[in-house]
Structure 1
């Protein structure tokens, strides 16, 4: 009887693992392989002609080089900004450090499309800051243009420095302060301390941030599509190929872009593994250095004030324009009238409210589906020694190294014909494909968040509960569930946050029946209904802030 019960449990476990692997293969690896297959078959025969064209025809080759260049420059620019800010905030002690630390994370919770449109309103050719400077200094033409490679890098600097800031901040807080004191007592100069002690601690964090930033920069779509101008990148060309129904060319471009991102990701991870630095001394944590000079403190506070203003300006511009009638922007550079009509239109018109409802429903659906996959995947990764553990971990983390536009094209190539994974129907053009892509895109971050919760679930607690006479149900309800639930819910909310304002995947996969808010915003801008577009943006910002605040508190509680 006992053997039969054990055998039944094993059958159940293996069945669950097989279903999980089937899902991961069917919706992550299979779409990627279908894109590769599409790229190497021409008229039913194997051919590399599209790859030859990609590297020889300037119209295809230049966007590829531009994407790599954009990724590298994004790493350099964001690295300089993020590392400098991390050192200023966490290496030195001055008033309002805690507030500044939280404000610097603000761009992370704002949807990318909102930030790009905010920058256009502020620094575009007819932007409020641009026109203010032009009128103030009596210039005949705008002092600058937010377009091309410089404009994209400015937007990337605002949105992506957080990768370096977060990772370097964590690394600085883990530096063993006793080692620095010992080095100083032995006569080491500040330069020697930095090179020999601080830099080795920071190198793994720098490499990890570089990998994430390169993938995000090279795979960027929102900024290049709106303000790229003549600077063509591979992501925008992929959309152009898809729009013209050249899916074989789009598949080739996606495959090459994915390979480039994975290659750089592997290179950074190899160097990260080789750069791991562990101190044999265990002393106190890092103590921020107190600035005694009043002049330096005043300069830091002034810089902090300017930084706060620069961070809040894009948010303020979106909210400000949302209260301005759209017709007034046709004749004025600055707001003249104020109205609630844009919000009233969204609240009273079912057609205008529909994008808000669509985004909310799809974000919740993606988060729930992701949670169903992430829970067993995280349990296998963290709590078992299964032979399939590395396969599960590889598949769930694979979307992290694939650009969003590539994920969308993979979905189109995989589900434009009936198959087992599509229920033997065509999913392209259906409303289910977009939330499914949201789920796949956000799966890595959800798995990582659930991993944190499971790491806190010590088996000693469970064994102690059972030894005291508690049943399995009581142990789960009173011990396991309170420990893991906050982190799981935080991951759920984070996926909602990433999905509700998503633009890149949406522009490839949305239909008229499930048009999200991000698409409605862009349509509003191009239809000169700017006030309505910014009202959508304000709603996105409010939703993002609420979800971010709740998830951060829950995740902090879970880690404790």
Structure 2
């Protein structure tokens, strides 16, 4: 009877819909499940028999163990520093009455328009051995060490100010929702400004802070660009070490094991944090909300100190952006020597980028990858969301959990899984080899963006009025026609916003790109990273600054259209 019912259901589904379901199932099994299971086999069952030799190699490898220690040290340090700086930025921008707050917020938001390898290369350009600020400090203090900006403290400094984007966005939004009547009631009872901040304001922000702490820890644990560019030989972390080991066939199992350790640490941390969050009671006691009014700092000395700190932080954020833009309009000699003269300004760098195919090639490659991956992941999640919205059964639930797998794994583990699995013919992909092809990076981009895109697109689907689809069906419209002409136009604006964000985030990606890119087709992220090497040509550095400025402009435009002026 069950088989008969199943047969009838299959007959009632349009063949094109069945093909779509089949392709989604194949993609999930081939690229989300199989590589991540295969990596366990390659580590512990290589040769057909179980072996713990990779673990022994890991434990006895001093470099590997040191990188593990450094990664956890960086992650723990960032939880402290990023939360401290992030909370301070939000308080200066949203809670306290600081003069020029709107200008300050523009500076604090600069990490939203550039990040990753672009941001790190920018900080190295400013504070590195031949950087502009280093030259300024050396001229003021003759005994100043020009090679000061490297190692653990340099990585911590850069990542501290690079990872506050989520704080200014989400914590800022949370603090604006605090009930002002609660603050007024505490003040009327004689509570001081500090007491209100610690006992009234911050406890309400705990849920957001928990989530941000998870993100910061995971970011520090899987950091790639900053340790690789600024860490030097004395501060190597897990991901750069995985990259080094993955380049050799003899140590690839060690790279896979390190990636697995990174993945297990991620899962354990997520589990612990979720349990802690569920146990806590972080609800506001107020039931009637009133708009937050910025608080004046009545203590004169405290007010002066707060203003000095606010503008000092503003300078730290804004200086790299300003100098990148200024030096992008100078000649190669000025860039290599970090000096500015009126005669050094030129438009030649921009002319070269937009007129020379070799110069613009990395940019076109990144645009092609970002566009193809963004469109593909949106189409995939649209189809999956349609299934999740239409069907409420165990198969739909299994599909949703499978599509969220990349959210639980670091991109490093995903990359190593793809490399280890598809470096030889596999039946599941038609006995093809993907390693060494342009498809590897494309697949990597699609995979890592699936969870975020699915959540956003799925949320749009579940805001739809079911009566719309019922009305279309009653009028004789077929399922695909209803989706295309009735449902899709409603969810299209939010879907396009997600597509734009994915495109924006993919353009200058380095952390995943460096593992999977084709040597003949170097994307922007790799080119920008290579320009930070000491042996990089001055002309290459000049082009990199132009790339960075163009990326900033594109990011600003994307954020403007996605979030709008009022939200930023």
TM-score (norm 1): 0.88
* 1:307 matches 2:313: yes
Shift of 1:439: 1.5
Structure-2 residue corresponding to 1:228: 231
* Distance change (3 Å), C-alpha of 1:184 and 1:455: farther
Contact 1:172 1:286 in 2 (8 A): no
Match of 1:545 among 542, 553, 566: 553
Give the Cα separation in 1 of the matches to 2:310 and 2:357: 44
Give the Cα separation in 2 of the matches to 1:185 and 1:234: 52
* Distance change (3 Å), C-alpha of 1:284 and 1:254: same
Give the Cα separation in 2 of the matches to 1:14 and 1:495: 28
Give the Cα separation in 1 of the matches to 2:396 and 2:483: 24
Query: Which string of whole-angstrom CA distances, capped at 9 and with x for unpartnered residues, describes residues 422-458 of structure 1?
Result: 3321000001111211121222222233234334434
Shift of 1:509: 1.6
Name whichever of 97-106 and 43-52 sits farther off. 97-106
Structure-2 residue corresponding to 1:39: 43
Name whichever of 188-197 and 119-128 sits farther off. 188-197
Structure-1 residue corresponding to 2:78: 74
Give the Cα separation in 1 of the matches to 2:80 and 2:128: 24
* 1:324 matches 2:330: yes
Give the Cα separation in 1 of the matches to 2:180 and 2:472: 42
Match of 1:519 among 526, 546, 551: 526
Give the Cα separation in 1 of the matches to 2:272 and 2:433: 38
Alignment of structure 1 residues 17-416 onto 2, 5 Å: 17=21, 19-139=23-143, 141-142=145-146, 145-184=148-187, 193-194=196-197, 197-229=200-232, 230-245=234-249, 246-275=251-280, 277-279=282-284, 281-291=286-296, 293=298, 300=306, 302-327=308-333, 332-336=337-341, 337-381=344-388, 384-416=391-423
Give the Cα separation in 2 of the matches to 1:386 and 1:118: 50
* Distance change (3 Å), C-alpha of 1:216 and 1:382: farther
Q: Tell me the C-alpha RMSD between the 2 structures.
A: 3.4
Shift of 1:43: 3.4
Shift of 1:122: 1.0
Shift of 1:421: 4.2
* Distance change (3 Å), C-alpha of 1:393 and 1:79: farther
Alignment of structure 1 residues 418-429 onto 2, 5 Å: 418-429=425-436
Give the Cα separation in 1 of the matches to 2:403 and 2:358: 37
* Distance change (3 Å), C-alpha of 1:536 and 1:290: same
Gaps of 5+ in 2: 1-5
* Distance change (3 Å), C-alpha of 1:282 and 1:541: farther
- Matched length: 554
* Distance change (3 Å), C-alpha of 1:99 and 1:449: farther
Give the Cα separation in 2 of the matches to 1:545 and 1:382: 37
Shift of 1:119: 1.0
Give the Cα separation in 2 of the matches to 1:390 and 1:468: 28
